[in-house]
Amino acid sequence: MQHKPITAVFVKICKAAPVVIACRVSPKQKAEIVTLMRNNDSEAVTLAIGDGANDVNMITAAHVGVGIRGVEGQQAARASDYAITQFKHLKNLLFVHGREATRRNSYTICYCFYKNALLVAPNVMYESRGNMGRFAFFSAGSAQALYNEWLYQLYNTIFTTVPIVYYAVLDKEFEREDFLQEPRLFEPARNSSYFNYSVFWRWMWYGLLQGLMLLLGVLLTLSNNPSSSNGVPEDMYFVGNMVFTLVVIVANLKILASHNTHTFGSTFFIFGTIAVYYLCYYLLSLMKSQSIYGSFTRLFFNWVHVFLQLLLIVAVMLMEIVVHQGKRFFLMYFGRITGQTTVKRSFIGDSESLARSIGGECNRACVDTGFAFSQEAGHTPQITSAEFRLHTDKSP
């Protein structure tokens, strides 16, 4: 491993070969092979699986370590990131739980940034200097906050917490059998399609744009335009309360629109969170010391304000759909999606046919019992067994 030219050749051979078998190597050499691949390919993601104490170094050296609990002890399982009891469980761990965990975690990370961008964008624009005609100088740089301080503190702790936790734990895009029968469903997780720079900044763009749409929609409608029976325009605090209400509703409806499995629990937590916000707003509106005192009835029982809220919610939610579909139409117009799909399908078809031609006969002849070599005899026949001699005599 110290000779760089030989090491480079060894790495190229390992990348070109479908399978590399290292026989009679020490625990240190196992770890060195994994470390070598990691150091020579920054984009590679290594996985090491073992069932004994001699595999601990290799498991800890890999990005993802999987230990099998067997008769050789618990050392490998204790040193690993994930522990399984049988080797056949590795397929479920990677292609079902691993793929879905990648998708849900990526969505959760992006959503946390999105909901805070949605919250901060109206407040930042309101506090900045600007010139919008008669709606000019929202706060004239006075650092006057747009939101109520109590509601603002509860945004991340109560109003947008439970729905995303439920999504991150229980949402399923496909059934388990679909993942195991369609290997192409694993491609987005393998290609980092769920989380990259493009995806992250698209989420931030949507959050900032939707937040500005809510602020301008409320300001341009209510500022200097009397909406109450006494003919008095709404004040700054009422405008801020309506914007904050819309932010909470849009942030929760975003999760509702993203759910792949709509269950009673997901619907209950989303709309229950919105109901909790209404309850907190009502309780705070009863306190004379709060800036929102007495505004609950005007905000939620005035038909003009209710209609405005529904109109802005629909406009903001449809904006993302229109932008997404417009992008797809633009790409299809120039033929990019069609070309990429054709290339991917041909590549997948060639890979599958090559895999079947190389190992299809052997896979059909052998029975996969699913046990690791540390527990019972596995699916590969032993060299000294009659089954192995019978299989080799039939092979060309």
Residue type for position 97: H
pLDDT for position 369: 45
Is residue 95 scored above 80 in pLDDT? yes
**291: its two tokens:** 């800036």
Q: CA 63, CA 324: separation in Å to the nearest integer?
A: 34
Residue with tokens 């067994």: 385
Rounded to a whole number, what is the distance in angstroms from the first to the last CA of the chain? 37
CB 334 within 8 A of CB 328: no
Phi–psi pair at 143, nearest 5 degrees: 65, 25
Is residue 135 scored above 90 in pLDDT? no
CB 220 within 8 A of CB 138: no
Global confidence as pTM: 0.73
Query: pLDDT for 191-207, tens place per residue?
Result: 888 898 989 999 999 99
Query: pLDDT for 37-71, tens place per residue?
Result: 888 888 888 888 888 888 889 999 988 899 988 77
Q: Which long-range contacts (CB under 8 A, 24 or more apart) does 35-42 make?
A: 35/61, 36/1, 36/7, 36/10, 36/11, 37/11, 38/62, 38/63, 40/7, 40/8, 40/11, 41/11, 41/15
**60: its two tokens:** 């800890």
Is residue 8 scored above 70 in pLDDT? yes
Query: pLDDT for 227-252, tens place per residue?
Result: 555 555 666 788 888 899 999 999 99
Query: pLDDT for 138-166, tens place per residue?
Result: 555 566 778 888 899 999 999 999 999 99
Residues 6+ apart with CB under 8 A from 336: none
Q: CA 78, CA 109: separation in Å to the nearest integer?
A: 28
pLDDT for position 370: 44
Largest CA distance in the chain: 98
**22: its two tokens:** 């290292």
The full set of domains in the chain, from first to last, is 4-86 (3.40.50.1000), 91-338 (no CATH)
Give the Å distances, CA to CA, from 286 to 118, 136, 248: 27, 32, 21
pLDDT for position 228: 57
Q: CA 115, CA 167: separation in Å to the nearest integer?
A: 15
Lowest-pLDDT range, 10-19, 60-69, 105-114? 10-19
Q: CA 214, CA 102: separation in Å to the nearest integer?
A: 32
Q: CA 276, CA 266: separation in Å to the nearest integer?
A: 15
Q: CA 209, CA 99: separation in Å to the nearest integer?
A: 31
Residue type for position 270: I
CB 219 within 8 A of CB 136: no
